[in-house]
Amino acid sequence: GVELSGLAAVADGTSRVFVAKDGKLLGAIDIADTERPEAIRAVAALKEMGIRTILLTGDTADVANAVGKRLGIDDVRPQLLPEQKLHHIQSLVAEKNTVAMVGDGVNDTLALAAANVGVAMGSGTEIAREQADIVLLGNDLERFAQTVAIARRARGIILFNFAGTVVIDVVGIALVM
């Protein structure tokens, strides 16, 4: 066996891989996920719009919680299988939440299909792009936040115009009578 005692602890969210040869420890490699550069800004923009963010991931709890903390995610759900992601999305939809699921992999396809709006990253797997309602070009998560902001603004304009039309029609009918 290889003696591993006395080695320094690994930073939060980092996985350590030990390298040994002929029973002698040669060293260790620390591996950590890196967030997309725009991810923190995208999550902050979504929160400014009053949108709750949830991270559904198959990663370990340590890794998921570290990433969630760095990004400012509201709720982190680690170590999920695709069926568990699906169940979580279905529960949110059943509670009458409007749910947008952003994903890029095979493990996200069931949840993408179950969400009110499935959003795939353009660089994601073909099956994820096929299951999604929206496919973002490239990997820029800020584009998703911008898309939500534009959709909300367009919805507000439509509702304003609809209300204005109804008021005008009511006034017109009253004048005709």
The DSSP result for 138-152, as a single string, is: TT-HHHHHHHHHHHH
Q: What distance in Å separates the CA atoms of residue 66 and residue 63, rounded to the nearest whole number?
A: 5
pLDDT in tens, 71-128: 999 999 999 999 999 999 999 999 999 999 998 888 899 999 999 999 888 777 788 8
- Sign of the CA dihedral 71, 72, 73, 78? positive
Instruction: Give the up-direction half-sphere exposure of residue 57: CA atoms within 13 A in the CB hemisphere.
Output: 18
Between 156 and 122, residue with greater pLDDT: 156
pLDDT of residue 165: 93
Q: Which bin fits 14, alpha (ψ -120 to 50), beta or left (φ > 0)?
A: beta
Instruction: Tell me if the pTM is above 0.85.
Output: no
**74, two tokens:** 């509201």
Q: What distance in Å separates the CA atoms of residue 124 and residue 118, rounded to the nearest whole number?
A: 13
pLDDT of residue 11: 63
Q: What distance in Å separates the CA atoms of residue 121 and residue 42, rounded to the nearest whole number?
A: 14
**In this structure, how many other beta carbons lie within 10 angstroms of the beta carbon of residue 167?**
10
pLDDT of residue 55: 96
pLDDT of residue 10: 62
pLDDT of residue 1: 67
CA angle at 47 for the pair 122 and 104, rounded to the nearest 5°: 20
Asked whether the predicted pLDDT for residue 5 surpasses 70, the reply is no
Asked whether the predicted pLDDT for residue 8 surpasses 80, the reply is no
- Sign of the CA dihedral 128, 87, 116, 40? negative
Q: What distance in Å separates the CA atoms of residue 56 and residue 77, rounded to the nearest whole number?
A: 5
Contacts of 45 (CB under 8 A, 6+ apart): 142, 145, 146, 149
pLDDT of residue 7: 57
